[in-house]
Structure 1
Amino acid sequence: EELGQPLPLFIKWDDADYGLRAGEHGYGTVTMPGTAIWHMAWSDKDDAIDWQAYFHLRNRLVVSALHWDAPIKGLLASSLKATIKHLMCLEYSTVAIQNKALADFLAGPEHIFSILESALPEVRKMRSEYPDAVVLPGATSLPRPTGRTRVHKPPVSLPAIGFRLARGVLHQLRQEDPQHHERPQLNIPTQDARWFLLCNVDGVTVTTADGRGVVYRQRDRAKMFALLRTSLRQHIRLARKYNRMRKVYRDALPALSSQQKWEAVLNSEVAARG
């Protein structure tokens, strides 16, 4: 009655928002010693790059707008760094849905409530248009790779990181070799799918985290630049409008978290389903 209902965020960050709201009203949250719940291992999930990546970013922005008063510079830097890493790892579907996440956040709280039911199907449809999101039964369904998979140790010194990064950027600027979209260069497990390896290939299969198959990541320079341009435009909009969005979301919080709002949404869904 005092805190209101959870926000319409579907998954990701709704629990964090409720805890922050509780703290702002003087209710502390604690960890109970000796208790636990079962949860699948994070290493068995691709939630940083699959459909959940949309909700991670969009809802992070919503919660930050509601509860965070610091400058946005750090958040922008973190988001742009993640975008560059995803592009260098040939995770184009992730960048596409994160661009949508930025746009949906900037469209405002009423928009997010209006897409409560449609957001997930739309995100899944968007992802299906990119090879890195299409799960194949296994690497054996494709021709044998042209290269040999070796263990690649991550660069740790600044010169080594700079060298790998520069070499990867130069490779990304070159036209991709289409033959590697027919026959992969490497087959690698998910734990080895790191930027310093993937930024130098044009086609590679990567095992999904849950082991149910592989995805065939294919470098596409034109697609990469198109996604990057869209991302930069959205980040510029975010930088310009973020302070205003803080006020918009905070002003809308009482209505968004009201019982009446949730009743209206749920009743409309029941009516729509007949």
Structure 2
Amino acid sequence: MAKVSVQRIVFPTDFELPAASREIEPLYFKLAESAEDAIGDRPRVLGRTTIELTQGQTLNTDGYFNRLHAGYWARWTVLDAVEVAVTGTGRARVVIRRSTANAMETTVRVLEGELSETLSASVPLGPSAAGGCLWLEIEALDPVVVVTAAGYWGETNRELDLRTDIAVCTYNRPDDVLSLLKSFQRDEECAKVIDHVWIVDNGEQSFEELPGSQQVIQAFGDSLSHLFQPNLGGSGGFSRGLFEAAYHGDSPSVLLLDDDVVVEPEGLRRSVVFFHLAKRPVVVGGHMLNRAVPTELHSSAEWIDTKKMIWGPAPGGEEAVDLVTERQDEVLDAGFNAWWSCLIPTDAVRKVGLGMPFFIKYDDVEYGYRLLRAGFPTVTLPGFAVWHEPWTLKDDAIDWTNYFHTRNRLVFAALMSAGLPEQIQKKRVAAITQHIILRDILRNVLRRAYATASGAELAMIDFLRGPDALREPLQDTVSRVRAARMGYPDAETGVPNGGNGDRPTTIRRKAPKTKLGIPRAALREFGVPVPKIPLPLPPSMVNKIQADPWRIWERPSKSPEVAELPKNSDHYWGLADVPDAWVATVDGAKTSRRTRQPDLARELMKSGWATSKQVKERFSELCDLYAAEYAELTSPQTWAKQFGIEVDQ
């Protein structure tokens, strides 16, 4: 029987941290309330696996990165039990605690003795199959106790080949790439499982030009490859990484990572161990933590709403979870995992092909469901995570990338619907097109994001072209989409002036309080005259309306003709009083011009509706067309033309 380290108890040091170590300590261990703000009462972290306790102090490892999410290991791996082991100096009491899937807590074992002799016990995983976690409470019984190593071990009769390749897709983020490479090296146990790193560079700014990069490159030696190619987006960058690992690498798996993530190296190591101990071949996905709020879980297990074909949390999952106060006790079933951190079997890559040529958006979703259909389910594993910029700090719902959201969603829906009864196909496409009309066209028309609304229609037009639209060089597609936006006023950007000068900031920053005002404000965008106060109304209601400064029909008598608005006014009701507005982006760095053009608004709605009708009429036909070209579109030979290389696979 081989013994393997399932999970080490680690501390936030010796890798590239996303924030000050004290800020993220709650992800690793809990403190008694009296020690929260008192430096002297806190355990002292001495190293990656080493911590010092004084008499009476307790190290509680019930933190996101240091509790063992036992339910996942019980359900998906060959392990029946784990061995808890704590080593160090001094006398201590170790309490092994367990939670159930519904968060009930119990004590499993209590160990007491000299840590120099290692305190250990075997804990069955069986009762945790539906969920639940294990953690340790280590109390110092001597004046000074030092824990040098603690964790969970497993036994297996398998011959384990604990190696993985890593593929990083990057575009002009050299500093982030160099930080990633340093993190891989600084944690020795993590470095042991990394066989080869493929940096797929879509940009022009190379990390090799940064100070200190040559030492990092030399340390990796032949196990680092830096590949340059045209900007093929995330789908092209990660497909290249999949290709290199599957056909030129020697590892049983490849871990896909975004370039702008901060990795917890122990989580990376755990993903490799989990992969090799799994009962069947699986995809191991990582959680996404919020880099702006580093103790918040931004995205966990995800799946697709098969009615509208949009992604979201899997059943039981949540977004924006406070990891300091909430524990992930329930085992969640994922449909896919985004490619910010996703470990994929290279055998699976050779079986199902590379990603779809989407450029960005839905490539990871489609690939995850393709793998699932081929017998490779995704397990999104708590304790394996990266910190990443949250989607709430991006404007991709109203910029040029919205085209790819819409087009690729339709292609994915067609691929998932091929072979289904026509009645189901019609019901699905009706829900999707209705959602596109309401969210991507009408909503954007009402807030005068005309370029985005037009891009949604262009996406439907390109979907109607069939698979040939996906054979276009990806760079040409991006150029065409961006060029199509330029004739619209909202394509014009500027720099915020803080409400000074000739663009004062208006006061409207929240929605009207009655439903009565909503359709009336919307009508203005189509050139329909709207009175300030709808009549006839009871005097009592008129008085109430006039007393409320937020009512949309109370247009201020001195309302500016041009104004600068904050992002939270980027709605039809926020723009209603201003014919020409400059709306700030979500990060506040730029502004986008929103000029009311009723003729354009009417034309975009009319043409968008007509195009959506064609999508509904031809959907069944297009399902068959896309399905017929599926294998060819994702083959290494087809992708080689985009990569600019020759392949013999």
- Would you say same fold, with TM above 0.5? yes
Count residues with an aligned counterpart. 257
1:241–1:199 Cα change, 3 Å: farther
1:148–1:5 Cα change, 3 Å: closer
Distance 2:599 2:396 in 1: 26
Task: Report % sequence identity.
Answer: 29
Confirm whether residue 21 of structure 1 aligns to residue 370 of structure 2.
yes
Confirm whether residue 166 of structure 1 aligns to residue 519 of structure 2.
yes
The 8 Å contact of residues 46 and 208 in structure 1, kept in 2 or not, is answered as: yes
User: Aligned runs of 1:1-274 on 2, under 5 Å?
Assistant: 1-68=350-417, 69=420, 70=424, 71=427, 72-82=429-439, 83-139=441-497, 143-145=502-504, 148-153=506-511, 155=513, 160-161=514-515, 163-174=516-527, 184-199=561-576, 201-267=578-644
Residue 154 of structure 1, CA deviation: 5.1
Distance 1:24 1:123 in 2: 32
Larger radius of gyration: 2
Distance 1:184 1:35 in 2: 52
Query: SS at the partner of 1:209?
Result: coil
Residue 232 of structure 1, CA deviation: 1.4
Distance 2:381 2:474 in 1: 32
The 8 Å contact of residues 149 and 187 in structure 1, kept in 2 or not, is answered as: no
Distance 1:131 1:142 in 2: 21
Question: For 1:108-151, what per-residue CA distance to the aligned partner results, in whole angstroms no more than 9, with x for missing partners?
Answer: 11222214221111222222222212220124686134x74133
| Greater RCO (CA < 8 Å, at least 6 residues apart) | 1
Query: SS at the partner of 1:262?
Result: helix
Distance 2:593 2:367 in 1: 39
Distance 1:10 1:260 in 2: 17
Query: SS at the partner of 1:114?
Result: coil
Q: Which amino acid aligns with 2:410?
A: L
Counterpart of 1:180 in structure 2 is none
The 8 Å contact of residues 57 and 98 in structure 1, kept in 2 or not, is answered as: yes
Question: For 1:161-198, what per-residue CA distance to the aligned partner results, in whole angstroms no more than 9, with x for missing partners?
Answer: 3x23321233123279xxxxxx7443221122123322
The 8 Å contact of residues 188 and 204 in structure 1, kept in 2 or not, is answered as: yes
TM-score with structure 1 setting the length: 0.86
- The structure carrying a bigger strand percent of its residues is 2
TM-score with structure 2 setting the length: 0.38
Q: Which amino acid aligns with 1:204?
A: A
The 8 Å contact of residues 88 and 168 in structure 1, kept in 2 or not, is answered as: no
1:62–1:200 Cα change, 3 Å: farther
The 8 Å contact of residues 190 and 207 in structure 1, kept in 2 or not, is answered as: yes
Query: SS at the partner of 1:35?
Result: strand
The 8 Å contact of residues 55 and 101 in structure 1, kept in 2 or not, is answered as: yes
The 8 Å contact of residues 204 and 218 in structure 1, kept in 2 or not, is answered as: yes
Query: SS at the partner of 1:2?
Result: helix
Q: Which amino acid aligns with 1:229?
A: K
The 8 Å contact of residues 88 and 199 in structure 1, kept in 2 or not, is answered as: no
Residue 229 of structure 1, CA deviation: 2.0
User: What's the RMSD between the two structures over aligned residues?
Assistant: 2.3
Distance 2:640 2:503 in 1: 55
Moved over 4 A (4+): none
Counterpart of 1:179 in structure 2 is none
The 8 Å contact of residues 91 and 132 in structure 1, kept in 2 or not, is answered as: yes
